[in-house]
Amino acid sequence: MTFETKHTHIAKGVAILLMVWHHLFRYPERIATQHYIPIIPEDIFKLEFLVGMFGKICVSVFLLLMGYGMYQSLSKKNTGRIKYVKEKLIQFMVQYWICFLVFVPIGLIFFTQNERYVWDVKTFVMSLVGFDITYNGEWWFVSLYIKLLLLFPLYDWLVRKNIFVSLILILIGVALAEQEHIPIIGNAAFWQAPFMMGMIAARLDLVNRYLKWLKEKHLDSWWMHFIVLLAIAVIRVKAYTFYFDPFFTPLFIVHSVRLVNFLKMDKPFIFIGQLSLYIWLVHSFFCYYYWQDLVFWPRYSLLIFAWLMILSTGTAILLNGIYRWVESFMSVGNLKGA
């Protein structure tokens, strides 16, 4: 097996499911007015909360795949780094603006009782360019994505020139995990680590080498992948930190994708993965800001999760359709992908 685009989509599908679960059940204070029936009584085992804790790994998954994909894509293109980043930035911002212009006005018109949605020109403009999260706290990733895109030419040059220095930067990033006050860079100081790890993995072809090793050692079986994933989850939850995610994430991606393969669930995960950007952008409007009562209507935790995925995926399909329509009118180079 060779790690291809479809496997990237599967990994994104796994990651977005974890993200949605993470936001539903990791922060009880955000759903304090809601009540749900857990899979296992919480006085015995807080399954929803613990899986939600582990779900934070989704951020590193998306960033590692971003770095991996950008490195691979640029290597195949006959284009310069700056032009490539410009195209990626335009594509992302158009997708973001579509969601912004659909959902933010809903808050400014119908949810003015919420202090988040009081009209302010500065807030609106800064949010529009991705550097204010007043309207949606889970959009903090937008500014991070933009920063890493802009830093990509430097990282790409460095990874191609000196792997050792790149690894040092990753370690520095892990050491700066809590230093969000760094001017301009902020939390990108840490989150550059999984991003660069993805680029290094692409540069050294680590994923395919690891997959080959698993085959040769007869370890490519569903039970082995399940055991590794369970071990990663237990270690990460026990450690109660995401600092080591850059190192866990490559293993998590490989073993989760192969487990999905063994379960013959490729198609639904690819489908969800292809819509993951819009599912990320919209799901918290449903579960936090606008329609929380609707989301928790099914009462049972698994049904609540499934219902939120249905709402978010359906909305993502509509927004993606709008994007494709807008894209057809755009004359900027190659905007397809991701």
Q: How confident is the model at residue 240 (pLDDT cuts 50, 70, 90)?
A: low
Residues of the chain above pLDDT 70, percent: 92
Checking if the pLDDT of 174 tops 90, the result is no
Across 133-150, average pLDDT? 95
The whole-chain average pLDDT of the chain stands at 91
| Per-residue pLDDT at 45 | 93
70 and 157 Cβ atoms separated by less than 8 Å: no
Please compute the mean of the pLDDT values over residues 164-172 and round it to a whole number: 83
Distance CA 69, CA 3 (A): 11
pLDDT band at 166 (very low <50, low <70, confident <90, very high): confident
- What is the structure's pLDDT at 5? 92
Average pLDDT over residues 236-242: 78
Among 303, 283, 291, which residue's Cα sits nearest to residue 37? 303
DSSP class of residue 232 equals: H
Q: Residue 182 — very low, low, confident or very high, per pLDDT cuts 50/70/90? A: low
Express each pLDDT in 223-234 by its tens digit: 999 999 999 999
Q: What pLDDT was estimated at residue 332?
A: 47
pLDDT at 331 (0 to 100)? 57
Distance CA 331, CA 114 (A): 39
Rounded to an integer, the average pLDDT of 132-154 is: 94
Closest by CA to 65, choosing from 9, 124, 119, 128, is 9
Q: Residue 336 — very low, low, confident or very high, per pLDDT cuts 50/70/90?
A: very low
Confidence class for position 178, pLDDT limits 50, 70, 90:
low
Domain ranges of the chain: 5-327
pLDDT category at 338 given cuts 50, 70, 90 is very low
* pTM for the whole structure: 0.92
Q: What are the residues facing 80 on neighbouring strands?
A: none
Buried b (16+ CB within 10 A) or exposed e, 87-122: bbeebbbbbbebbbebbbeebbeeeeeeebbeeeee
Q: Does residue 313 have a pLDDT over 80? A: yes
Q: Using an 8 Å Cβ cutoff, are 29 and 318 in contact?
A: no
Q: What is the pLDDT of residues 17-70, one digit of tens each?
A: 999 999 999 999 999 888 999 999 988 999 999 999 999 999 999 999 999 999
For residue 78, give the DSSP letter. S
